[in-house]
A and B are shown apart, each in its own frame.
Chain A
Amino acid sequence: MAQVAQMRRGLLPYCVLAMLRDTERYGFDLVQALGAVGGLVTSQGTIYPLLARLRRQGLVGTTWRESAAGPPRRYYQLTSAGRAALADFAREWTQLRDSVDALLGTGKKDMT
């Protein structure tokens, strides 16, 4: 299902932003948390290039923090631009999901 892989790929950046909505996370922590959701990530390693890209696009910021165990960790947090992008997406997604569910007859039948 190449299309599903494509969809997953398109949604993943927003899922990463959503993971950072309430708390900052370091890379390993974020990847673990995403992996636990299931069905989202097939190759965890590809999250890191994605994080780098989100940083270049100004949607996440990074901070190095000392770690109690081992070397410093790079923490990722949402920027205000990232927060706005996430909010936009959440709105669009809710609408899109409801529409598709209605067409598939799997979700709420009553759209009004």
Chain B
Amino acid sequence: MTDDQLAAAYLKRLRRAAGGLPRARRTELLEAIQAHIAEARAAGAVPLRDVLDGLGEPEEIAAAAGGGMRAGAGGHQIAAVVLLLAGGAVFFIGWFAGVVLLWTSARWRWYDKLLGTLVWPGGLAGVAVYGALFAVSSGGSQVCSGAAGQAATCVTQGGGGLPDWLRTFVFVLILAAPVAVAIRLLRRARRTPNQDEPLIPEPAVL
């Protein structure tokens, strides 16, 4: 990446992280950081990467500006969670859209994003597909024996050697996991803005 691209990417991240600020304050913040980067580059004493490291994470700067992020889950976050959960019903495309929304939101940490992606691909529709596959591959099959004309004796064999109660339990667990993850994502989206308190109290004691 060239320095121009590096600086642009940093400012873009900051603009996104500061999305919850009133417009005037966000503009002021972005201009100040932009000016800082320009001054540092003009001085040329330090590689740009180190300048940006010195500035800190854009999210941290936005949080210091107070209300760097909107309180409560926004439309973006709610759409992401709904699509992850139910979007798979439309040939998985909805689910992919949910993944994109998940990863483009600044409201979640990377591990939450990973969790949202991996549990489970396809969401609830994915679970239905896995369930069907599971039932086909290891579901109970009937084995009948007995000569023609006699009452056939049929034995139902449990799939995969697992007892029925265990299979039900596993299935419920698999079904519950994405719902639990969805609830977690919504809660995290709501909680993130409050993790960093403002730099100084407002109105300040000053």
Residue numbers of A with Cβ under 8 A of B are: 9-10, 12-14, 26-28, 31, 35, 42-46, 48-54, 57, 59, 69-71, 73-74, 85
B-chain residues with CB within 8 Å of residue A85 when the two chains form the complex: 206
Residue numbers of B with Cβ under 8 A of A are: 25, 28-29, 32-33, 35-36, 38-40, 42, 54-58, 60-61, 64-66, 198-200, 202-204, 206
B-chain residues with CB within 8 Å of residue A46 when the two chains form the complex: 56, 60-61, 64, 199
Cα separation A10 to B155 with both chains bound (whole Å) = 75
* Residue of A10, A51, A53, A57 with most chain B CB atoms under a 10 A cut-off: A53
Least CB distance, A60 to chain B, in whole angstroms? 11
Q: Are A49 and B29 in contact (CB under 8 A)?
A: yes
A-chain residues with CB within 8 Å of residue B56 when the two chains form the complex: 42-46
B-chain residues with CB within 8 Å of residue A9 when the two chains form the complex: 199-200
* Residue of A46, A54, A73 with most chain B CB atoms under a 10 A cut-off: A46
A-B contact count (CB 8 A): 88
Q: Which residue of B lies closest to A59 (CB)?
A: B206
Q: Are A28 and B202 in contact (CB under 8 A)?
A: no
A-chain residues with CB within 8 Å of residue B202 when the two chains form the complex: 53
The DSSP consensus for interface residues of chain A is: helix
Q: 10 tightest CB-CB pairs across the interface, nearest first?
A: A43-B56, A45-B55, A49-B65, A28-B39, A46-B64, A45-B61, A48-B32, A49-B64, A45-B56, A44-B54
B-chain residues with CB within 8 Å of residue A27 when the two chains form the complex: 32, 35-36, 39
A-chain residues with CB within 8 Å of residue B39 when the two chains form the complex: 26-28, 70, 73
B-chain residues with CB within 8 Å of residue A52 when the two chains form the complex: 25, 28-29, 32, 65
Cα separation A49 to B35 with both chains bound (whole Å) = 14
A-chain residues with CB within 8 Å of residue B38 when the two chains form the complex: 70-71
Cα separation A59 to B200 with both chains bound (whole Å) = 13
Q: Which residue of A lies closest to B14 (CB)?
A: A45
6 A-B pairs whose Cβ atoms sit less than 8 Å apart in the complex = A12-B199, A13-B199, A48-B29, A53-B199, A53-B202, A73-B39
Q: Are A57 and B206 in contact (CB under 8 A)?
A: yes
Least CB distance, B101 to chain A, in whole angstroms? 27
Cα separation A26 to B40 with both chains bound (whole Å) = 13
